[in-house]
Structure 1
Amino acid sequence: MNRTRVFSAATMLALAATITSVPVAAHAADRSGGFRVVDGRLVDATGKDFVLRGVNHAHTWYTGRTDRSLADIKALGANSVRVVLSTGTRWTKNDTADVAKVVAQCKANRLVCVLEAHDTTGYGEQGDAASLSEAVDYWLEVAGALEGQEKYVIVNLGNEPHGNAGHTAWTQDTKDAIGRLRAAGFDHTLMADAPNWGQDWSGTMRENAPAVFASDPDRNTVFSIHMYGVYDTAAEVEDYLGSFVDRGLPIVVGEFGYDHSDGNPDEDAIMSTARSLDLGYMGWSWSGNGGGVEYLDLATGFDATRLTAWGERLFKGPDGIRETSHEAGVYRRGCSVAYRLDDWGTGFNADVTIRNTGAQPVKGWKLDFGLPGGRTVNSAWNAAVTQDGGQIRATSRSWTEDIPVGGAVSFGVNVTGAGAVPASFDLDGVSCAKS
């Protein structure tokens, strides 16, 4: 295969090997309590493995579409989204306020935000491309939107930061970028894209990843390969990803498609290999592609009800997002319910206490439980209660809707019939422990 071609779906959207076998010790960067790398694995703030299952969204060109797009991406099963931002070098800058809004939208939709500076695409070949150093300047400028968000945000240093010309500079440039961000107090997990328009046909990232990882004082850098025409066989996909796993280095597929102008990537192999190796992937891209790569849209016209064949494949096909995605632990709700009876034989009062044992505050809730036949709820306090046969649903009132982490709220019901204890309780679809 000709390995000297220029490859980048992202650039077309916007503008129209020797393996080092030195083992690398991976240490947890736990100063922030956010994402970190442990033994070559990405771990979330709850200490659990987190495998990215998401898509890319071109926010910087479609800022008005982001709110709805993130909600749709989440509804289709994704646990993360890679958001295109601009430093202002090539496109309109996404300033601190805008970045903060994006992070808030990710959190509202329970998505992990991978934020990437896109202006670095093809540096060395695209005359107006930003350097990684300029990308760091941008991250420092918008730091106010990122501080304290380490549980929810991964900082992708720069998209495809070197083309084919001058790609050997990738190693030192990436080390320098990591060092500057750490010196400035960034505790986030950092993501480093490969050179060669993201596809690393030269093996530069593959060979030098151990040294780059070791240069991070937090040992909290993840590597990202973009898979398009270079990866058109299962053997190539398995060989590249396996080389990182074998050395205990964290790797994700930050972009890939089902077709491309530089060749036909093997998307089935990319997805199945990522699943078998338990690695993350993020498909390119939600909607709005132009410059001849419109076929890479996952949704037609940003409409989630009009998924393309590529969208159907990525979200709903074998090894796809819906089948393999798990929400980040920081977003998962945990709960326990105490149920206490005051029973007089022909009726009873039940006092119900919900405790938030999860990692996030609860605002607004629905508690579902069942009672045996013959019991009728007459009234309730501190919750609105509806009954459908033996199924009961209690919904929060304005004064009981907030349950802080570790906190609790109580409500009560008056019921006709002999006293009964529900077999189970579900809070917003999450099974609660009984206490």
Structure 2
Amino acid sequence: MRRQLAVFGVAVLAAAASVLMFVRPADAAVGLHISGTNIVEANGQRFVMRGVNHPHVWFTGQTRAFADIKALGANTVRVVLGSGKRWGPSTDVAQVIALCKQNRLICVLEVHDTTGYGEEGAAASLDEAVTYWISQKSALVGQENHVVINIGNEPIGNQNAGQWTAATTAAIQRMRTNGFEHLLMVDGPNWGQDWQYVMRDNAQTILNADSQRNTVLSIHMYAVFNTAASIVDYLNRFQANGWPLVIGEFGWRFNSGEVDHDTILAEANARGLGYLAWSWSGNTDPILDMTVNFDPNQLTTWGQRIFNGANGIKATAREATIYGGGTPTSSPPVTTPPVTTPPVTTPPVTTPPVTTPPPSSGACTAAYSVLGQWPGGFQGDVRVTAGSAAIRGWTVTLTFPSGQTVNQAWNATVTSSGATATARNVSYNGSLGAGASTTFGFIGSWNGTNGAPTLSCSAT
């Protein structure tokens, strides 16, 4: 999960690491396993994770989420579980695995209680996480084709991150001693972001600790990775050394200081790296929700980006061959990058959309709706659609009837004069093909009534 870093900018440790290629012996292959830098299935077919995180332990009744996530094209779901130290205990592991299998999803199971250990006083240790996995062994054995065990989420905070190497080594070895043959996933320290490079500089030690040579490393990318350079450099080092890696969590650039998700998606696709975006719904910070109230028919800007965007899930996911897959789950759609969706603090209030007249060739329409409303404020959404010919730019004018004002906008540049707000496209969403659409949104203020504005749309 996204965490505020307490410390940033220490000098990079220059610890030496072996550059030996990490290959699991062919005769040791049981279910999902590592071959070189790749995750492969028991039949040797490469499998690249394309999925999202689902906060199951806090929303155990949201079992429909597995089918909904699959329907949107994912091939993997990372499921949040609790050991009982802070959340849970999750005693429904068998049911969770069944839901994954019913919906043809590879199931990454993680213990969330370890988040920020050493800095977060209530956190569980990795050793306690292993104790939990041992308690659930009967549900896990025999599921190696379908299940990856992510031993503990973000297992060390920013204080004494160096303890991660020994703790992770011991956890892997204890899992193997207790008979687990699954592909294991281990998260980095620093709340998963490894900004002190402890995981990067000790990766070979961790991989060598696994007697089955069947561990994949997982980086979580949030505000530390807010530039293309930081992302590319980190991924390059793992690739150069032949270390298996997945991007187990990441957020998106909803402001200039946040993660550069476009680079993450592009680099993951180019390198064949798996990724699991955070998260389906239910965040205390709803900026990271992909759906509104777990409703797949109400994708947020972040959800649209992950599922329908360039290098997103629908464009790049391949179903695991254990389920009969091997072809794209759907055709890649055309979309535009998002900027942000501010949080809505009350349940969404939906209003009938207001739409401009049908466009002629080279023109556009604009449709307005209110996604959420609270005393004195609201979140507006406008969908701009090109006419029967492509356009290179658009301008939408909104004339409010009741004194509303626009305070903050995304995916458009908005200026206001009295009751009128004028929104113009930004660099990445002005060009639209015939019939194609994009959206922009805003936070507004109102007093008395919140009537819909009169709209006009012009195109170039």
TM-score of the superposition, structure 1-length normalised? 0.71
- Label 1:172 to 1:78 Cα distance change in 2 as closer, same or farther (>3 A): same
- Label 1:233 to 1:260 Cα distance change in 2 as closer, same or farther (>3 A): same
Larger CA Rg, structure 1 vs 2 = 1
Distance in 2 between residues matched to 1:183 and 1:41, nearest whole Å: 24
Residue 27 (structure 1) shift: 1.8
Structure 2 partner of 1:358: none
Structure 1 partner of 2:196: 202
User: In 2, are the aligned partners of 1:228 and 1:262 still within 8 Å (CA)?
Assistant: no
Structure 1 partner of 2:208: 214
Distance in 2 between residues matched to 1:295 and 1:85, nearest whole Å: 22
User: In 2, are the aligned partners of 1:29 and 1:220 still within 8 Å (CA)?
Assistant: no
Structure 1 partner of 2:5: 5
Of the three residues 94, 98, 111, the one matched with 1:104 is 98
Q: Give the counterpart letter for 1:297 in structure 2.
A: D
Q: Which runs of 5+ in 1 are unaligned?
A: 8-16, 335-435
Which structure carries more helix by proportion?
A: 1
User: In 2, are the aligned partners of 1:56 and 1:282 still within 8 Å (CA)?
Assistant: yes
Of the three residues 144, 153, 157, the one matched with 1:163 is 157
Structure 1 partner of 2:44: 47
Distance in 2 between residues matched to 1:179 and 1:261, nearest whole Å: 41
Deviations 1:49-103, CA, capped at 9 Å, x for gaps: 110000000000001002x1010000000000000000000012101xx000000
Of the three residues 294, 301, 304, the one matched with 2:286 is 294
Of the three residues 70, 80, 89, the one matched with 1:93 is 89
Question: Where in structure 1 do 4 or more consecutive aligned residues deviate above 3 Å?
Answer: 28-32, 259-263
The aligned runs of 1:18-37 (5 Å cut-off) are 18=14, 20-28=17-25, 31=28, 33-37=30-34
SS at 1:123 equivalent: coil
Of the three residues 72, 81, 101, the one matched with 2:77 is 81
User: In 2, are the aligned partners of 1:28 and 1:36 still within 8 Å (CA)?
Assistant: no
Distance in 1 between residues matched to 2:6 and 2:44, nearest whole Å: 39
- Label 1:6 to 1:116 Cα distance change in 2 as closer, same or farther (>3 A): farther
- Label 1:324 to 1:230 Cα distance change in 2 as closer, same or farther (>3 A): same
Q: Give the counterpart letter for 1:313 in structure 2.
A: R
Deviations 1:381-423, CA, capped at 9 Å, x for gaps: xxxxxxxxxxxxxxxxxxxxxxxxxxxxxxxxxxxxxxxxxxx
Q: Which runs of 5+ in 2 are unaligned?
A: 8-12, 327-460
SS at 2:45 equivalent: coil
Distance in 2 between residues matched to 1:85 and 1:4, nearest whole Å: 22
Residue 29 (structure 1) shift: 6.4
1:325 paired to 2:317: yes
Distance in 1 between residues matched to 2:51 and 2:307, nearest whole Å: 9
User: In 2, are the aligned partners of 1:45 and 1:329 still within 8 Å (CA)?
Assistant: no
Deviations 1:348-393, CA, capped at 9 Å, x for gaps: xxxxxxxxxxxxxxxxxxxxxxxxxxxxxxxxxxxxxxxxxxxxxx
Q: Give the counterpart letter for 1:74 in structure 2.
A: K
Structure 2 partner of 1:274: 268
- Label 1:130 to 1:261 Cα distance change in 2 as closer, same or farther (>3 A): farther
Residue 33 (structure 1) shift: 2.6
User: In 1, are the aligned partners of 2:19 and 2:242 still within 8 Å (CA)?
Assistant: no
Deviations 1:246-290, CA, capped at 9 Å, x for gaps: 111100000001147993100000000001111000000000111
User: In 2, are the aligned partners of 1:201 and 1:230 still within 8 Å (CA)?
Assistant: yes
Distance in 1 between residues matched to 2:289 and 2:278, nearest whole Å: 7
Residue 188 (structure 1) shift: 0.2
User: In 1, are the aligned partners of 2:22 and 2:207 still within 8 Å (CA)?
Assistant: no
Distance in 2 between residues matched to 1:333 and 1:269, nearest whole Å: 27
Deviations 1:112-143, CA, capped at 9 Å, x for gaps: 00000000000001111000000000000000
- Label 1:118 to 1:30 Cα distance change in 2 as closer, same or farther (>3 A): farther
Structure 1 partner of 2:122: 128
Residue 41 (structure 1) shift: 1.0
User: In 1, are the aligned partners of 2:56 and 2:80 still within 8 Å (CA)?
Assistant: yes
Residue 242 (structure 1) shift: 1.5
Deviations 1:279-330, CA, capped at 9 Å, x for gaps: 000000000111xx21100011000000000000000000000000000111
User: In 2, are the aligned partners of 1:5 and 1:262 still within 8 Å (CA)?
Assistant: no
Distance in 2 between residues matched to 1:6 and 1:194, nearest whole Å: 16
Identity %: 52
Structure 2 partner of 1:14: none
Q: Give the counterpart letter for 1:5 in structure 2.
A: L
SS at 1:169 equivalent: helix
Q: Give the counterpart letter for 2:5 in structure 1.
A: R
1:312 paired to 2:304: yes
Residue 168 (structure 1) shift: 0.3
Larger RCO (CA under 8 A, 6+ residues apart): 1
User: In 2, are the aligned partners of 1:228 and 1:263 still within 8 Å (CA)?
Assistant: no
SS at 1:304 equivalent: strand
Deviations 1:212-245, CA, capped at 9 Å, x for gaps: 1011011100000000000001111111112111
Structure 2 partner of 1:253: 247
Residue 24 (structure 1) shift: 3.4
Distance in 1 between residues matched to 2:124 and 2:229, nearest whole Å: 34
